[in-house]
Chains A and B, each alone.
Chain A
Amino acid sequence: MQDFGAAFALAFELIASFDADLTEIVGLSLEVSLAATLIACAIGMPLGALLAIARFRGRGAVLVGVNALMGLPPVVVGLLVYLALSRAGPLGVFGLLYTPTAMIIAQLILITPIVIALSCQALEDLHREYAEQFRSLCLSRGQVVAALVRDGRMSLLTVGLAGFGRAIAEVGAVIIVGGNIDHLTRVMTTAIALETSKGDLAMALALGIVLLAIALGVNGLVLSARSVTRDAAHA
């Protein structure tokens, strides 16, 4: 019990002193997950909006497929990306394995279906409300998507954060394609797994606390943004 107490004390000390290793790991984690989230949003939100407004044969099957992909096992994604990026793989020529880029690709594959499915759900209701008016105005599909994305921006912000939450907390895929290499591809989750197995609980706890703080901070930001928007009654 005393050991745990000491570990917590040391963890807070590492955070308070901006420990170089800790800062580097946190920085890389944010860099990788933010990049993956931004790219996933750029791809997934317009696709989700298109799926929300489009009516075509097989739409139900596509929705079921996208929803099923939300539950992709990270280790399987990690394995597939590993195979694709390894020297013998189709993308081996780019030499991306064990780089932050490989980790971004793995996270991107994991969170893009989440962004598509949640965006579709968020914008479908809005589209139901606007659809007749938009048809009356003879808007093109692109104009409809742009309007839905703009007016549904607060819901989409929440979608983006859900994607970010999944990305930053992910460990299985990034450890396979990143390799958890010190000063190169070590992120918070893989470092926590490593430090725990080594028995260095202070570092693992410090990283865990930072991870929780980031999750809380991000959610706090969303709530603030939502309340500001609601006050302006644009929502």
Chain B
Amino acid sequence: MRDHAQPPPAWAGVEARAGFRITGLRLSAGGRALIDGIDLAVEGRGITVVMGPNGAGKSLLLKLMHGLIAPDEGQVLWAGEPAGEATRRRQALVFQKPVLLRRSVAQNIDFVLATRQRRDRTRRDALLREVGLAERAGQPARLLSGGEQQRLALARALATEPEVMFLDEPTASLDPASVQAIEEIVRAVSAEGMKIVFVTHDAGQARRLADDIVFLHRGRVAEHTPAERFMADPVSEPARAYLAGRLYL
């Protein structure tokens, strides 16, 4: 996907300065604890994959880390700052279902660049080349295939030059080629210093991408270990059951 003969992309060299420190995080709805006392430390570099069964709280944890929702109790600190608008400005979130504006592919990028006061056609074109959508620049974004829409969402997130990028199951229901394209982009930007927090159900994908894995079960961290160790010998029973394809209640 990436052409290494080209000059480095705009986010190259972005340093993820520090990691996340999460303490006593709780969130309830309708009398049910959705996030039930999470304490977690996540490094400021590399790819952290968040795994767990449906309803474990993966997407909620991502949104709490990004400061999109506020916890009932506890705190998320990133680079020493509490999660909120100030930290969100230096981060980006790619949703499972891409939310694209009713505009052309190029205008979707232009919109984000304009909100950051960085109207720059060259940069936009470079981003579209990076995600393999340069040929589609003038097309309506909503006519793209699912994989292309997700790559556009990724390019739009990169246009903000984030230090951290959260991806919430970005490859769910995509074909293998699109999955591979997105994984290549994620690996490339991570190699250039961007912190990635990636939610997935796919153990194979976690094996391919992760430096470390946070395994959630019923709103709690069942396990947080380096990826190799997690895949070879998960410590917690919920993680062992998950990897073995067994139902763990």
Say if the beta carbon of B92 comes within 8 Å of chain A.
Answer: yes
Q: Are A234 and B99 closer than 8 Å at their CB atoms?
A: no
Q: Are A137 and B160 in contact (CB under 8 A)?
A: yes
Residues of B within 8 A of A (CB): 66, 68, 85, 88-89, 92-93, 95, 99, 101-104, 111-112, 115, 140, 142-143, 160
The contact sample of 29 A-B pairs, CB cut-off 8 A, is A129-B99, A130-B101, A132-B68, A132-B95, A132-B99, A133-B95, A133-B99, A135-B68, A135-B88, A136-B66, A136-B88, A136-B93, A137-B112, A137-B115, A138-B88, A139-B115, A143-B115, A147-B101, A147-B111, A151-B101, A151-B102, A233-B140, A233-B142, A233-B143, A234-B103, A234-B104, A234-B140, A234-B142, A235-B102
Most chain B C-beta atoms within 10 Å of own C-beta, residue among A136, A233, A234: A136
Shortest CB-to-CB span from B17 to chain A, Å, is: 19
Neighbouring A residues of B143 by C-beta, 8 Å:
233
Measured between alpha carbons, how far is A176 from B234 in the docked complex, in Å? 82
**In the complex, which of the residues A132, A138, A143, A232 has the most CB atoms of chain B within 10 Å of its own CB atom?**
A138
Whether the pair B140, A138 counts as a contact (CB closer than 8 A) is no
Known A132-B68, A136-B68, A136-B92; contact A232-B140, beta-carbon cutoff 8 A? yes
Complex alpha-carbon distance, A9 and B133, angstroms: 62
Alpha-carbon separation in the docked complex, A132 to B96 (Å): 12
Q: Could you tell me which A residues sit within 8 Å of B by CB distance? A: 129-130, 132-133, 135-139, 143, 147, 151, 232-235
Provide the bound-state CA to CA distance between A136 and B103, in Å. Answer: 19
Which residues of B sit under 8 angstroms from A147, Cβ to Cβ? 101, 111
Is A151 in contact with B85, judged by CB distance below 8 angstroms? Answer: no
B94 nearest in chain A by CB position: A136
A143 vs B143: C-alpha distance in the bound complex, in angstroms?
Answer: 25
Contacts of A130 in B (CB 8 A): 99, 101
Q: Which residues of B have CB within 8 Å of A233? A: 140, 142-143
Instruction: Please name the residue on chain B nearest to A130 by beta carbon.
Output: B99
B66 — which chain A residues lie within 8 A by C-beta?
136
CA distance A151 to B95 in the complex (A): 20
Which of the listed residues B112, B115, B143 has the most CB atoms from chain A within 10 Å of its own CB?
Answer: B115
B92 to chain A: which residues have CB within 8 Å? 136
Complex formed: what's the CA distance from A233 to B142 in Å? 7
Which of chain B's residues have a CB closer than 8 A to the CB of A235?
A: 102
Residues of A within 8 A of B93 (CB): 136
Report A136 CB to chain B, min CB distance, Å: 4
Which chain A positions have C-beta within 8 A of B95? 132-133
Instruction: For residue B162, give the distance in angstroms from its CB to the closest CB of chain A.
Output: 10
- Rounded to whole angstroms, the CA-CA distance of A133 and B111 in the bound complex is 12
CA–CA, A132 and B59, complex, Å: 13
* Shortest distance between the CB of A123 and any CB in chain B (Å): 12
For the complex formed, measure the closest distance between the CB of B64 and the CB atoms of chain A, giving whole angstroms: 13
Task: Kindly list 17 other residue pairs between chains A and B, CB separation below 8 angstroms, not including A130-B101, A136-B68, A151-B102.
Answer: A130-B99, A135-B68, A136-B66, A136-B88, A137-B112, A137-B160, A138-B88, A138-B89, A139-B115, A143-B115, A147-B101, A151-B101, A233-B140, A233-B142, A234-B102, A234-B103, A234-B140
